[in-house]
A and B are shown apart, each in its own frame.
Chain A
Amino acid sequence: MLDFYGKKLTSRLFLGTAQYPSPTILEDAVKTSGAQVVTVSLRRESGEAKSGQTFWNMISDLGVHVLPNTAGCHTVKEAVTTAHMAREVFGTKWLKLEVISDNDTLCPDVLSLVEAARILVEDDFEVFPYTTEDLSIAGRLLDAGCKVLMPWGAPIGTGLGLNNIYGLKTMRAHFADVPLIIDAGLGLPSHAAHAAELGFDSVLVNTAIAKAGNPVAMAKAFSIAIEAGVMARTADPMEPRDMANPSTPVLGMASFT
C-alpha cells in the first residue's frame, strides 16, 4: 500500500481539479477513477460571488485527501506565504510546493524550491516538491526534510509524456526507497503506464484528463493504465534486444522447395 507522510492510499492516481468542463464532470472523474487525492489551489475570492465556497463544498463532499499547491508562485516568500494560507484554509499539512522559474516552461526554480522546502518543513509542513529529475536537487530536497518527490514528466500542460527517460530511471534507481510521483506533462494513459513500469509510485494528472473529450472516461483510463504499469513491473519484463528472435519455433518448419 502506498504511504505518503503516514497516509495510506490504494489509488496511484492524483487528480488535478482545474479546467474541467463542469464541477459535475470533475466530481464524476474523481469517483470513477477512484482517485483518493486531489490538488487544489488558492485564489482571490469575491465577497459577492464566493465561488470558492461552492467549490470547497463539492470537494469536501468527495471525502478525498486534498493536496494544496502553490501554483503561480515565483519566489520563496510567495510560496511560503501561500503555503501558510493554504494550511489554514484546507486544514492539512500537505503541500504541493511549486516555485516556478519562468512562464514559458513553468520549470521549477529548484534553488528557491529547496530554500522554501527547508522553511516549510521546519514549520511542520509535509512537502511534496514539484521538481526536475536532477539528482543533486532531489538530494537537497530530501536533506531539507521532504519525504516525497514529484519530478516532472514534461512541462505542465504539454502532454508530452516522459521527456527524459534516462533521468527518471536514474532518479528511481538512486532514490529507491523514496515515494516518487510523476507530476506534470503526461498526455496519455500510456505515459502513466510507462511511469509505473519505470517504478514510479504514482502520477498526478490534470490537463490530460480535464481537457479530454470525455474526462470521466479518460480519468478511468489513467487509473487502469497505472495499475497495468505496476503489474507489468512486478511481472519482471523481458530485456529488449536489438536483433529479431522468432517466437514461433523454427524446428519442424516444413520445406516447400
Chain B
Amino acid sequence: MTKILDRLPVVRHVRQSVGLQRGMLVTGLAITAVFVLTAIFAPIIAPYGYSQLRDASGTFGAQLPPGGAHLLGTTVGGYDVLSRVIWGTQTAVIVIIVAVLLSIFAGVALGLISGYIGGWLDRVLVVIADAIYAFPSLLLAIVAAIAISGGQSSFWGGILAAAISITFVFIPQYFRVIRAETVRIKSEAYVESAKVIGSGAPRIMVQHVLRNATRTLPLIFTLNSSEAILTLAGLGFLGFGIEPTAAAEWGYDLNKSLSDVTSGIWWTSLFPGLAIVLSVLGITLVGESLNDLADPRLRTRRRAEVAAHTPDPLEVQP
C-alpha cells in the first residue's frame, strides 16, 4: 500500500520533504484544496448568485460598505462582493483545467514528434516556439482573445476564449520541456533495443519516450495553473474577460473598482485581489516545493543518509 502511495507525485513529495520545505508544501496544498473545494461548492457557499442584483427585500444598492446582509459589501454595479469572489473561483478553476489540458495535449504531442523525428521539422518548430516564448504572454493572450471572441463573451465563449488564449502561451513551454527530454531519452540504450526488435516509431514514442519524459509535468502544471489565473485576471482587467452576467471573474471586478479606489472605497478591489493572490500563492507554493525536491542541489539535506538507501524516485523505468 505504502509503495503505491509513494509513487503518486504529490504524496511522494510530502513524504520526501522535511522541515521548512514540508511546511511550504503542506501550506500550499491546504490553500489549493480550499481553492478547489470553494470552486466545487460555490453554489452552496455563495450567499447570492454572481449576477444577482436584488433579493426579496429589493435591490442591493451600489457600493454598500461591508456588513449586514453583504458581508463584504457591494460593487459599483450593485453585485454582492462575497458572492462574486466565491463564484470567481469556479471560473478560475474551469479556465485552468481547459487551458492546461489543451496545452498539455498539444505541447506534449508536438514536443515528442519534434524531438523524436528531428531534422528540419524540429528546427522550424523550435524557432517558432522560441519566438512565441519570448513574446509578452499577456499581449499574445490579448491578440488570441480578439481572434477567438472578437471581444464579446458569453459564459462558455468567454471561458473558452480565455483558456485558448492562455493555451497559446503555454504550448511552447510544454513543447520545450518535452522536446529536450525526448532528445535525451532517444539515445538511451533501451530505445535502441526497441528499434532493434522492430518496434514502430509511434510505439517507441509512446511506450518508451513519453513515459520517461513526463517527470517534469507536475511542476509545469502547477506553474501554469498560477499563470493561467494571472493571465485570466489580466485579460479581465483590460476589458477582455467575461461579461459579469455570464460569470464572475476577478479581473473584471478589479477593473470596475479602479474608480472606487480614488474615492477611498476599498472593499470592491481588496477582496477579489486577495482571492487572486491567495490562489496563486497556494498553487505556486506547491510548484516551488516540487521544483526544489526534484533538484538535489536545492533539496534540504538533513535526510541525506536515509535517502541514500531509498531508490531514486525519478529513476528511469523503461
> Are the chains A and B members of one assembly?
no
A interface residue numbers (CB < 8 A to B): none
